[in-house]
Structure 1
Amino acid sequence: MATPDYSSLDAEILTQIAQSNRTYTALVSRLENEAKVFCTTPKQEPWRVINRRLQALRKKGQIGFNTKLGWRRRNTAGEYID
C-alpha cells in the first residue's frame, strides 16, 4: 500500500498555525474535513490523522509546541517565527 501524500494537509496545518490557531482543539475543528480524506477505514477518526501530522511536522523541525503558546512554526535555525 502506497503512503498517502500529506503535503496539502501539512500546508494547511502550517497556514492555520500562522493564523494564530495554535491549540490542538482549534486545529482539529478547522481541519477535520481536510483530514477525513486520509481516513482509510470508517472507524478512523480525523483527529488521529491531524495528530500524526502534527507530530511528523514537529519531528521535521517545522513546528514546535510551547505549553503557554501552543503550536508554533519554526525557521530552519529552530527558532520560533510566530
Structure 2
Amino acid sequence: MWEARAVPGRAGELLAWARSQRLDPSPSRRETFVAPGDRVLVITWWDTSPEGGPPELPSPDEDLLARPVHRWRFTRVDGHPAP
C-alpha cells in the first residue's frame, strides 16, 4: 500500500503521476483512491512475491509532496489457520 499527500491544490497532479507509474512485474490487481486532504492511495495485490519482493511505486518529486510517501506491506491471512 502506497499513500502520499500532495501540496494543497495539487492532488490532481499527484493522482496523474501515480496513475502513470508502471510496475515490473505488474501486480495481479491495482486500485487507486483519493481522499480529503489532497491524498492519493495505491493498493496492489500480488499472486506470488517476485524474487526480492514486489516492486514499489517510487516517490514523486518533493515539490509535489506535502510530506514523505508512506508505504505499508501486508500479508493476507484470510483462509489460513491462525498461528
Tell me which interval the TM-score lies in, with the shorter structure as reference length. Answer: under 0.3
TM-score (structure 2 length as normaliser): 0.25
Q: In terms of Rg, which structure is larger?
A: 2
More strand by share: 2
More helix by share: 1
Q: Which protein has greater RCO, CA pairs closer than 8 Å, 6+ apart? A: 2
